[in-house]
Amino acid sequence: MFPNSFEYIAPTTLGEAVELLQRYGYDAKLLAGGQSLLPMMKLRVAAPPILIDINGIDELKGWREENSFLRIGALTRHSELEHAAELRDRYPLLAETAVWIADPLVRNLGTVCGSLAHADPASDWGAAMLALHAQVEAVGPGGKRQIPIDDFFVDTFTPALEENEIATAVLVPTPTGRAAGRYLKIERKAGDFAIAGLAIHVELDSDGIVTVAGFGICACGPVPLRGKRAEEYLLGKKLTPETIEAVSRLVPEDSDPTDDLRGSAEYKRDVLRVFAKRGLSDIAKELQGEVVLR
């Protein structure tokens, strides 16, 4: 199906884009990778009269480390993080997650910030950014603000962005200790959205004590969810068979899945339990210097 007709505007500066959003309000939609918006427009689920294409805004491109964060610009594509060898050691969860999103065609166009702004409960980046304790940087007519990822997913397909704001970057804290991450996802077929997904990020100090723990769950609730109970339990402990077992039982407690064609709520909770145990066991081995086969 063809989308409704629309006016297309392609600003080249952030200021111009914000001004356009301010002028057109709810009539305008930002176009980033187009991998969620365009299918919705073709299905006529969305019919914005004005599209503001942000792909020509250079200041939204690329990533850099600054002020103890990795700043991932809004136009960073999924595939860029999949292939960024220089980020593998310190931010392993990024490549771990990116490779699970859709297929190479979607990954070459879709953006991390577009995925977060779309606020799909099954967003793989939603789970990963929760595990990484990230923040979303947003710019609007009033200036810049940072939104903790826990406050970002207001409801299904509803991010905490005003209609005149642009998500300009996602900020991932730079690890202070040894870091490891895993993304585990079960899908009906390769390239599909998750039936259930779990992102895990762990940092250890030199004594092997967990100083940062992050668990992000997707497709098991109205928004991506934090595995808060598991995080609180694991902080200050070592990764042992006992603590890993305990965490695997706590992660599903923070999920809120429903029965659907992809599986029952009980099944999805059990998948999360298995994922937590498998992912953390691999992380424990990796941080002890063992080579873990994928």
Residues near ligand FAD (CB under 6 A) are: 29-37, 39, 74, 101-102, 106, 110-111, 113-115, 117-118, 123-125, 161, 166-167, 193
- In the three-class reduction of DSSP (H, G, I as helix; E, B as strand; rest coil), residue 12 is classed as coil
**CB 210 → ligand FAD: shortest distance, Å?**
27
Smallest gap from Cβ 167 to ligand FAD, in A, equals 4
Rank residues 29 and 269 by Cβ distance to ligand FAD and give the closer one.
29
Taking the C-alpha atoms of residue 95 and residue 89, their distance in angstroms, rounded to an integer, is 10
Angle (nearest 5°) at CA 12 between 7 and 18: 70
Distance in Å, CB of 207 to ligand FAD, minimum: 36
Helix axes 265-287, 241-250, angle to 10 degrees: 150
Q: Least distance to ligand FAD from the beta carbon of 84, Å? A: 17
Nearer to ligand FAD, 74 or 131 (CB): 74
Q: CB 19 → ligand FAD: shortest distance, Å? A: 15
> Six-digit token pair at 125?
């980046």
Identify the residue whose tokens are 């392609």.
Answer: 10
- CB 63, CB 55: distance < 8 Å: no
Q: In what order do the strands lie in the sheet with 194-204?
A: 178-187, 194-204, 210-218, 225-226
Cβ 152 to ligand FAD, closest distance in Å?
11
Task: Identify which of residues 81 and 212 has a Cβ nearer to ligand FAD in the complex.
Answer: 81
Q: How far apart are CA 145 and CA 44, in angstroms?
A: 32
Closest CB to ligand FAD among residues 142, 236: 142
113 vs 133: CA distance, rounded Å: 15
When the beta carbons of 175 and 216 are compared against ligand FAD, the nearer one is: 216
Report how far residue 137's alpha carbon sits from residue 112's, in angstroms, rounded to the nearest whole number.
13
Residue 255 backbone phi and psi in degrees, to 5: -95, 165
Closer by beta carbon to ligand FAD, 78 or else 273: 78
